[in-house]
Structure 1
Amino acid sequence: MDRLVLKNGCAVALALCLTAGAGAEGTHDLKVTREFTAPVEAVWAAWAESEAVKAWWGPTGFTAPIAEMDFREGGTSLVCMRPPQGPNLCNSWTYRRIVPHERIEFDVDFVDVEGTPIDPAAIGLPPGIPDLVPHVITFEPGADGGTRMTVLEQGYASPETVEMSRMGLEQVLDKLATFVKQ
């Protein structure tokens, strides 16, 4: 289903791929496209630089105290977000492919603060969240000098898990939109 929503002055096009055929057999994917007023270089840098990631990563109310970026093909970044009440929730981002200012492909794994993989259920996440979530982020220049960015997350077990991820991702992208305006 596609729809256009206006959030914080930004047009948000959401495309949820909820059929079994959308991902690997029996899985569901999430695809969100967001228009930013900032140029591609600024939006790109927000994904690549430690201090930038710390400024916007995590849903509303979360902080990102750790963003140890190893932003290169084959590199692995450690990114942790902290809810208002509770411990850090950490992920590793292992980069498969990077095409500067066009595309980032990476796998997100749930890890502890040292980077050791952990079961998402062990940290209280609901069933249906896979241990590893492939991501593809694409960047396109807009006609007005802005950026059209698409986030594709792959391999969720259920439409409910996709919806939960979509809600968090929308909040994260709202924070990114605010950050790149500065």
Structure 2
Amino acid sequence: MADNISNKSNWDLVVTRVFNVSIEQVWRAWTEGEHVKSWWGPTSFTSPVAKMDFRVNGTSLVCMRTPDGHDMFNTWTYQKIQPMELIEFLLDWSDKDGNRIDPAAMGMPPDMPRDVRHVITFKAESGNTTEMTVTEYGYPSNQLFEMSRAGLEQCLDKMAASFSKA
């Protein structure tokens, strides 16, 4: 597994990973609820909910549970889907029913952005490996950029570990 992280202008986060599994397996990690639940959330968090509505204009509801049992919900509203190539969605904060809520009400920093654009690209490599790049757009500060980077890296570490269990 390789890791490449860069910070573009405007605090856009770009993380590239190479997984030693097929593109289909990496695609399912993003599109099927049971797979999402195996990796969503930072290290030591669990994901008890991943209700997927994976289609353009569909909205999935995912939950990460803190080690002390606090649930934090996000919605992923899909803008573009190109099978085995690209997923684009807006990530927002929500309650357990998918209703938008202020992230600060959940203990997040007051400048935590809403509707964070995410673009995930997939590229089949030789030898049954897949390169995946996650881009998150528009963090307003270095603090939020670094918090998101750390969380994303931990999620992708869990994703890699889930492939070895499959």
Q: Structure 2: how far apart are the matches of 1:127 and 1:40? A: 37
SS of the residue corresponding to residue 56 of structure 1 reads coil
Give CA-to-partner distance per residue, 1:118-176, whole Å, 9 cap, x none. Answer: 01111100133102111000000112221100000011111221111000100000000
Q: How does 1:1-182 map to 2 (within 5 A)?
A: 10-17=1-8, 22-23=9-10, 28-181=11-164, 182=166
Unaligned runs of 5+ in 1: 1-9
Unaligned runs of 5+ in 2: none
Aligned residues of 1:15 and 1:33 also touching (Cα < 8 A): no
Alignment match, 1:6: none
Q: After the TM superposition, which segments of 4 or more aligned residues of structure 1 sit over 3 Å from their partners?
A: none
Q: Structure 2: how far apart are the matches of 1:180 and 1:46? A: 9
AA at the equivalent of 1:16: N
Give CA-to-partner distance per residue, 1:97-130, whole Å, 9 cap, x none. Answer: 0000000000001000011100111110013310
Q: Structure 2: how far apart are the matches of 1:124 and 1:174? A: 25
Identity %: 53
SS of the residue corresponding to residue 155 of structure 1 reads coil
Q: Structure 2: how far apart are the matches of 1:31 and 1:61? A: 23
- TM-score normalised by L of structure 1: 0.88
AA at the equivalent of 2:53: D
- TM-score normalised by L of structure 2: 0.96
Q: Structure 2: how far apart are the matches of 1:104 and 1:162? A: 21
Number of aligned pairs?
165
